[in-house]
Amino acid sequence: MLLDVNLHDAQHRSFEYSPHETLTVRALMGDLIVGYEFVELTYMDAELRVSEVGSVRALRLLHDRTEILYTEVDAEADGRFVHRVLLWPRGEYEVVFTAVKVHREPASPGDRR
């Protein structure tokens, strides 16, 4: 599977974008039952598409109440992939990419907000 990570209810912790090069998203995910961990997704040849009027700032990605509600990965007609991300309470974005690296690490109790 290309992206075997369940980001439901995850919170963005950092979002670094170099257009048409890389996008690195770091998020805190998990719950009290399974525990928490950080996941870092680094998309190669990244193109960021924001659906809202404005910019990434309008999405409030790093706001402590913004969570990832749903994600899906599809193939584009040109052979690239697209990762669609729906946010709560509002907003969405897409990342078009050719490859992705996933890195996970445990979070300590002090890392949760």
Query: 39-77 pLDDT, tens per residue?
Result: 999 999 999 999 766 677 778 888 888 999 999 999 999
Cβ neighbours of residue 43 under 8 Å, at least 6 residues apart?
22, 23, 24, 25, 83, 95, 97, 99, 100
CB atoms < 10 A from the CB of 40, how many?
15
- The pTM of the full predicted model, rounded to 2 decimals, is 0.90
Average pLDDT of the chain is: 90
What pLDDT, on the 0 to 100 scale, is given for residue 53?
Answer: 61
